[in-house]
Chains A and B, each alone.
Chain A
Amino acid sequence: MRYLPLNTNDRNAMLDVVGVRSIDDLFLDVPKSARIDGLIDLPTHQTEAQVDAAMTALAGKNRAAGAGPFFIGGGAYRHHIPSSVDHLIQRSEFLTAYTPYQPEISQGTLQVLFEFQTQVAMLTGMEVANASMYDGSTACGEAVLMACRAKRRKKAYIASGVHPHYSATTKNVCKFLDITLDIAPSAPSRDSAVLENLDKDTAAIVVQSPNVFGEIVDLTPYAEAAHAVGALLIAVFTEPVAFGAIKSPGEMGADIVVGEGQSIGVGLNYGGPYVGLFACRQKLVRQMPGRVCGETIDAEGNRGYVLTLSTREQHIRREKATSNICTNSGLCTVAFSIHMSLLGEAGLRILAQINHEKACQLADMLSAIDGVELVTDTFFNEFTLRLPKPAHEVVEAMVGNNVLGGLAASRLMKGQDDLLIVAATETNCDEDMNAFVSALTEALS
C-alpha cells in the first residue's frame, strides 16, 4: 500500500519491542463480540491510476458550471480565481499544518489569520473579525446566539429577504435554547413590518443586503429601530464582492456582520467547504464565537501572532464556552486572504463594477423578453424576474440547451413559483448572455 511505510519485517520487529506476538494482541480490550474477523465487505485497494480514472468518470457525470452559460447565485457565486491562489494554498506548509497551537512554528498561518481578520473588518466596516466560521449560514446562527448572550434576551427577528437556508440554519441552532425566532416570509420588495414588532425583549434583528432576491437594502432604518429598543443589528451578506460597490454594513450601523466569503478565493465546490465571515464591534469581542488571532511579542521583543481570547472557547471553558466550534475554515481563509490581497481595494472596486454592469446588461436583455418582468429595481450582481410559467420548469427546459439559467426561487422558498433569481459575474461573456436569452425565449414560448 503506497501510503503505508511499514513492511512486514518492521512490523515484526516492532511487535517484539512492544512485547506481543501479533497485531491481534493490541486489540484485546475490544469485547470479543465486537471483533471483526477478516475484511469488511468493501472493495479492496486500488492503484492511483485506477482511482483517478474512477473519480474522473464520476466527475464527468456532472455539468461543470464553466462548461457553458451559467447564471446561478442564490448564496454561492462563480468568480474567476487567480491561479496563484490555488498554487499557494497547496504549499505543504499551509495545507498540512494543524491549527496553530504552537505559535513559534506556526507564524505563517497566524500572520495570514491576522491579515484575514483585518481584511474582513475593513470590508464589512467593522472593528474586529474572527478567524472564520464554517460558512455564512452557520455564522448567521452563531451571530443570533451571540446577540442573545450579549443582550441577555431571548428573542430575535429575521427580516424578509434573508436567504431561507440561512434562516433555517439559524432556526435550527436556536430551537433547543428557548430563543423565540420570528422569521418574516421571503418575498421581493422590502418589508419593514419587522420594525414595528420590536420590544425590550428583542436581542437582534437580522437583515440581508444584497438580499436573496438581489435587492440592495438600506440598513440604516433597521439599525435605528434595533438600537431604539437596545437590540443589535445583525447584517448578513452572501456576496462579499458587493462591498466593492455598496456601502459597508458598518457604515449603516450594523453591530455584527456575518456572511459567506466563498466568492473570494474559494470557488463553488458544490456547497462546501466555504468560509464564514464574522465581524463585530470591539465592545462585543468577548462574546464572539470561534478562534481569534492576536498580535503580541516574543521573548526577544519581536512582533508575532498567537491564538488568543481562548477563555471564550470550548477547550478551556467547556460547557460555558461561547460556541462549540473548534475546527473552522483555515485553508479557505488563506485562499480568501490571498485573493483579496491580489485584488486590493482598487481591484475589488473594478471587479464589483464589472459584476454590476454585467447584471444590468443581462437584466435589460432578459426583461425585454415577452412576459418577463424585472421585479428588483435595485441590485448588485443578482436580480429577480417574474416569469409567465413556473420557474423550475423553465430552468429544467433550459438545461436542454446547456444553459444553467438562474435559480427557481421555489427551490429555496415554497410558494414563489414564478420567480427566477439570476446572477451575473465577470465570468459571463456576451455570447453566454445571448444564449441565455435564446434559451429563455424558447422555454417560455
Chain B
Amino acid sequence: MSVMNNQGRQTTPTQTAVNEVETVSGNKGLSQRELLIFEVGTPRRTGVDFPERIGTKNRLGGQERTSEIGLPGLSEPEIMRHYVRLSQKNYAIDLGVYPLGSCTMKHNPRLNEKVARLAGFADLHPLQPQSTTQGAIELMGTLAHWIMTLTGMPAVAMSPKAGAHGELCGMMAIRAALDAKGADHKRRVLVPESAHGTNPATAVQCGFTIDSIPATDDGRVDMDALKAKLGDDVAGIMLTNPNTCGLFERDIIEIAELIHGVGGYFYCDGANFNALVGRVRPGDLGIDAMHLNLHKTFSTPHGGGGPGAGPTVLSDALSPFAPVPRIEQEGDTWKLVEDVEDADGDSFGRMTAFHGQMGMFTRALTYMMSHGSDGLKQATEDAVLNANYIQASLSDVMSPAFGGICMHEALFDDSFLKGSGVETLDFAKAMIDEGYHPMTMYFPLVVHGAMLIEPTESESKAELDRFIAVMRSLAQKAVSGKHIDMFKAAPIYAPLRRLDETQAARKPVLRWTSPEA
C-alpha cells in the first residue's frame, strides 16, 4: 500500500458556515499575491552566471557609468515564481472563449511556435550576407505569393510591423502616387464613422484631412452621403470590409468605381479579412491597397498586445511606390533590394530598419500551409457560421444592432438593457465572473453601447452552446431588474475588482519609485 502524503488521513468535506476568509498572506489558494519586481529583487542579485573577466583597460572614452542604475535582479527560481504568478492573473485564448470583436482571437497552433524557433529562422541576423539567408528570403517570397494569391492582388509590401503600420504603408503609397501625378489638391480622405481609430490617425500622418461618412440604418456606407462628398479634392477612401459592424459592404464595387472616377484610391482596412479568405478576393472588389493583420487572420499570437505584422497588398497603380526592402527572385537566387536607389519604380522609402516581422512570417506561413486552400476556406466559413449561430441564438434576449446575416462577428446594441439600470460595461464585467472574456464594448461608435462578439472558427459547438446559455441567462437577469447589485459589483471572482481608471489618468503613476527616494 502506498504512503499517502497526508499520512493516510483521508478527508471528507464537512459543512461550514464560513463564506470568505481573510488570509494572513493575502493569497487565495491558487491565486497568489505578487509584489513588484522592484520590491522583491535587489540590484546586487543576478540570475545569470558569467565567465571570468579579463580585466583590460577600457576604451569608453571617459563615458563610464558611475551612477547607480537600480535595476533589481533575482535568481532563476525566484524569476519563475514571479512571472508564473503574474501569468495566472491573465485571461487567455487557451483558457476560454475570448470573443473580442474585431480582434480575431483564434487558436494559436503550437507548430507555428516551434517553427519560428528553428535556429535557421530565429538565430538569423538581418544583415548577414544574403547568400547565407536564402531560405529566409524564400520564406518571405513564398508567404508573399500566398498573400497575393489569397487577396488577388499583384504586389505586397512585407515590411510593415503591424496593422496600423500597414495602413501607413498603403496611405503613403497613395500619397506618393498622387504626388507623382502632381495632384497637390487631392488631400481629402473619406472615412466611415464606423472605422477603426487607426484609419483617421493614419491618414493625418500622410498629410490628408478626414471627411467622415455616415452609415445607413442597415449599418453600411450611406451611398447618397458618399456621392455628395465626392469631388476633385478627394484623395481616396479608407473602408473596412467586412465593416466594423460585421457586415459586408454590398456596394463595395460601386464605391471603388466612384472613388476611381474622381481620381482617388481605395484603401481597404483588412482587419476583417478572416471573414473572406478563400471566398472573396479583395482584388476582385476594386481595391488599391489593404493591410493584413497576420496576428488576426493568420493566427500569429496576440502576445498581450503584439508583436503583430501588417503586410500590405498593392494594386498595379500603387506598386511602383512600394517601400523597400523588396523581394526579388532571379532563377534560384532570392534577393532583398534594400536601397531606394536600387528599387524599380519610385519607392516612397523605408518603413523600418530591417525586413519586417520575420518571426510572424514563419508562423503565418506555417498556419497557411497547415490549412491549405481548403482549410483556409473552411476556417472562414466556420468563423462566419459561429458568429451567425451566436447572433441567431441571442437575438430574442439581446438586441442585434442590424439583424440579418452577419459575417465573422455579431453586433448588439444596448437597447435590450434600456431602463434596466445595467449598462454595457456592467454586462461585460459580469461575463468575467462567468469565466468569459468580455466582447468588444462601445465599438463601433455608430451603435449605442455596442457589444461586438467575434467567436472565430476555433470554438466548438459545445463551447458555443455553453457561452450562449450564459449570455442568455445574463441578459434575462439584467432586464429582470432584480440583480442590479450583482452587475454593478462585477467582477468579484477576478484577481482584482473594478479598477479606478479615472484616478490612473488624473494622477499618472507610470513607474515604480523607491519609497526612500
Contact = CB atoms under 8 A, between A and B. Distances in A.
Interface-centre pick from A17, A272, A321 (highest chain B CB count, 10 A)? A272
A106 interface: yes
A255 B497 CA distance: 37
Contacts, number: 712
A189 interface: no
Contacts of B391: 18
B491 A104 contact: yes
A327 B60 contact: no
The size class of the interface chain B forms with chain A is 35 or more
A111 B62 CA distance: 37
Contacts of A294: 504-505, 508-510
Contacts of B138: 58, 61
Interface in A195-248: 209, 216, 218, 243-248
A123 interface: yes
Nearest to A311: B505
A411 to B, nearest CB: 6
A327 B360 CA distance: 14
B432 A176 contact: no
Contacts of A377: 59, 61
Interface string B351-384: 1111111111010011011111111111101101
B135 A58 contact: yes
A338 B37 CA distance: 10
Given A63-B128, A319-B210, A118 B512 contact: yes
A3 B34 contact: no
Given A65-B123, A298-B499, A34 B281 contact: yes
A161 to B, nearest CB: 14
A106 B69 CA distance: 29
B84 to A, nearest CB: 7
Contact of A56 (B118, B378, B496): B118
B372 A45 contact: yes
Contacts of B501: 103, 296, 306, 308
B508 A309 contact: yes
A104 B90 CA distance: 8
Contacts of B133: 62-63, 270
A181 B129 CA distance: 31
A6 interface: yes
Contacts of B43: 344-346
B131 A62 contact: no
B494 interface: yes
Interface string A154-194: 00000000010110110111011110000000000000000
Contacts of B68: 345
Contact of B76 (A30, A56, A82, A296): A82
Given A59-B120, A63-B128, A327 B306 contact: yes
Given A169-B352, A327-B295, A344-B74, A107 B125 contact: no
Contacts of B407: 26
Contacts of A395: 129
A63 B113 CA distance: 20
A177 B207 contact: yes
Nearest to A125: B67
B437 A102 contact: yes
Contact of B302 (A98, A177, A314): A98
A218 B63 contact: yes
B63 A62 contact: no
A165 B117 CA distance: 26
Nearest to A47: B370
Nearest to B512: A118
Contact of B65 (A13, A86, A244): A244
B460 interface: yes
Contacts of B495: 104-105, 107
Contact of B98 (A98, A119, A326): A98
A254 B162 CA distance: 29
Interface stretch (A70-78, A365-373, A432-440): A70-78
A107 B498 CA distance: 12
A386 interface: no
B34 A111 contact: yes
A335 B281 CA distance: 37
Contacts of A328: 162, 305-307
Contact of B307 (A3, A104, A300, A329): A329
A268 interface: yes
A347 B87 contact: no
B281 A3 contact: no
A168 to B, nearest CB: 4
B197 A316 contact: yes
Contacts of B70: 122, 345
B73 interface: yes
Contacts of B293: 327
Given A51-B111, A327-B305, A361-B54, A6 B385 contact: yes
A306 B443 CA distance: 19
A63 B498 CA distance: 51
A129 B511 contact: yes
Given A70-B125, A111-B89, A309-B505, A51 B47 contact: no
B374 A344 contact: no
Contacts of A321: 197, 201
Contact of A86 (B46, B117, B134, B205): B117
A5 B459 contact: yes
Interface-centre pick from A59, A66, A349, A356 (highest chain B CB count, 10 A)? A59
Interface in A350-386: 350-351, 353-354, 356-357, 360-361, 363, 377-380
Given A31-B253, A82-B76, A296-B503, A273 B357 contact: yes
A411 B289 CA distance: 30
Given A30-B279, A34-B281, A341 B41 contact: yes
A92 B109 CA distance: 11
B280 A108 contact: no
Interface in A65-106: 65-67, 70, 72, 74-76, 78, 82, 84, 86, 88-100, 102-106
Contacts of A15: 385
Nearest to B43: A345
A45 B370 contact: yes
A58 B139 contact: yes
Nearest to A404: B128
Nearest to A15: B385
Contacts of B378: 1, 4
A431 interface: no
Interface string B191-203: 0000011101111
A163 B461 CA distance: 53
A310 B443 CA distance: 15
A343 B47 contact: yes
Contact of B280 (A36, A56, A82, A122): A36
Given A31-B252, A175-B348, 14 more contacts: A29-B250, A62-B132, A84-B79, A96-B94, A108-B86, A108-B89, A115-B36, A118-B511, A172-B323, A243-B69, A343-B46, A343-B48, A411-B127, A414-B339
The 10 closest A-B pairs by CB, nearest first: A344-B73, A271-B354, A59-B120, A331-B303, A61-B135, A378-B61, A271-B126, A330-B305, A347-B46, A273-B307
15 contacts: A42-B150, A43-B373, A61-B138, A94-B92, A172-B348, A172-B351, A173-B205, A176-B206, A247-B66, A273-B357, A296-B503, A316-B197, A344-B74, A345-B72, A377-B59
